[in-house]
Amino acid sequence: MQKYSIIVILILFLGTSCSLKTVSTYLSQSDIVHQESAEKATNTNACNKTISYAPDSVNPDHTPKRYVRVVCQFINNSNGSLTFNDEKAATDFAEKMIAAANDRLRNNQKMWLPAGNNTPVLPINFEFVLDKTPENNYSGVFIKFEEDDDLAYFIKTGKRKNVFNTAIHTKYKYREGEVLNFYMMEHPPDSVGRPNYKASCDGIGLHNFLKFTGTYQNLYDTIHHDNGTHTLTIPSKVIGIMLHEVGHTLGLAHTWGTNDGCDDTPYNNNCWNFVDTKPCNTWGNISNNLMDYNAYQHAVSPCQIGKIQYNFAKLGSSQRQFLMPVWCTYKAEKTISIGLFQNIEWLSARDLEGDIIITNGAKLTIKCRVALPKGAKIIVKPNATLVLDGAEITNLCGDQWEGIVIESSKKNKGTVIFKNKPQLNNMKQKPEAEINTF
């Protein structure tokens, strides 16, 4: 009896295997289903809505992480007494600062305002990387010994005030337009301690660079150990100010007293922290948003994330130039799969690193630009649907992506629908070419 059972199971398995056999071909003109759109193409407007660029909480991998290249330039005075004069110590500090900033970016927090809100907590989806190249000794860190005091110091007040001055960047800029320069500056030593000069930790975020002050003088912590060693730690206040100023460079505005273009970042009293006096004596008035001045700065709203990601995706934007072009290298592990019975619509431009697979019964509608690396494919499984509605599928790295693969079984075949004249650019296996079967 057991022998017959095994035979029956084998017959069923073989029958199932035969029925699931698929044939894969590259897209040909005869595969394309052209459909008239019920409404005029509005993709340009749809692709410019920044909120569309906020990551999907259900499918966060559909918005790949971005990596912002930075260098840290520590500005010392001519005698080397202002800040680090040892590259190893400066590099250690910079690496710890970047690591702490990335840790905060990976742990976005719930918005405190408005009180009782249900604002979603989405991944911010970018991190910093020190630009470690031969030109900067593979550290991403420079120490500059500046003889001109008006350049060496971050001067907040008086006739020599230079907070918004760009001269330091003009002199020391590194790979301008490709790398975000951090200038780590300090207050004039003869001003520190004066009652009319507040030597606090401050910063300013400008177009291609940021200036920070007070970090070395006031805000870095050294933990001394019994064995004679010590550990540098980076206080959270440093990270908050750093990320706040980067937020400006990436396109965000203050939220408390102006319209920053986001409905989910309400006006507030700009309370630094909870105190005994009104209006900051109520937690319902305290913000934790990154772009407010507060002691926490660990929350970024969906609208703010959308703005950042929109600027990263926008071709030619200054923010995009800071990114590592990770979308130029194919990575199989970065494949995006549209799951069984999912109906997904992409209303934002994307730079992907692997294949796109649309599984049986699933549907993917693309309305904006999607860039794919060399060798990447879009695979449409049997009974799956790909809709290209005014979209552009391309490669932005001087290479060609592979093509669209249609899979068919005995009963079903993948469907590709064209609406509003989509473009297939820099594609190796063009629909006009002879069908390649594999």
pLDDT confidence of 24, banded at 50, 70, 90? very high
Locate the domains of the chain by residue range.
23-47+334-424, 57-313
Structure confidence at residue 200 (pLDDT): 81
Whether the pLDDT of residue 17 is over 60: the answer is no
What would the mean pLDDT of 320-333 be, rounded to a whole number? 97
Q: Selecting from 3.40.390.10, 3.40.190.10, 3.20.20.60, 3.40.630.30, what CATH number does the domain 57-313 have?
A: 3.40.390.10
Predicted pLDDT of residue 40: 56
Lowest model confidence (mean pLDDT) among 35-39, 270-274, 380-384:
35-39
pLDDT at 62: 95
Please, what is the average pLDDT of the chain?
Answer: 89
pLDDT tens-digit series, residues 207-260: 889 999 988 876 565 666 677 766 666 667 789 999 999 999 999 999 988 889
Query: Is residue 398 a contact partner of residue 373, using CB atoms and an 8 Å limit?
Result: no
Give the pLDDT of residue 229: 67
Overall average pLDDT of the 60-66 stretch: 94
Residue 181 has pLDDT above 60, yes or no: yes
pTM confidence score: 0.89
Across the range 120-129, mean pLDDT stands at 97
Q: Among 13-17, 302-306, 319-323, 406-410, name the one with the lowest average pLDDT.
A: 13-17
3-state SS of the chain? CHHHHHHHHHHHHHHHHHHCCCEEEECCHHHEEECCCCCCCCHHHHCCCHHHHCCCCCCHHHCCCEEEEEEEEEEEECCCCCCCCCHHHHHHHHHHHHHHHHHHHCCCCCCCCCCCCCCCCCCCCEEEEECCCHHHCCCCEEEEEECCHHHHECCCCCCCCCCCCCHHHHHHCCCCCCCEEEEEEECCCCCCCCCCCCCCCEEEECCCEEEEECHHHHHCEEEECCCCCEEEECCHHHHHHHHHHHHHHCCCCCCCCCCCCCCCCCCCCCCCCCCCCCCCCCHHHCCCECCCCCCCCCECCHHHHHHHHHHHHCCCCHHHHCECCHHHCCCHHHCEEECCCCEEEECCCEECCCCEEECCCCEEEECCEEECCCCCEEEECCCCEEEEECCEEECCCCCCECEEEEEECCCCECEEEEECCCEECCECCCCCCCCCEC
Lowest-confidence region among 64-68, 280-284, 397-401: 280-284
Whether the Cβ atoms of residue 215 and residue 184 lie closer than 8 Å to each other? yes
Tell me which of 174-183, 234-243, 330-339, 357-366 is least confident.
234-243
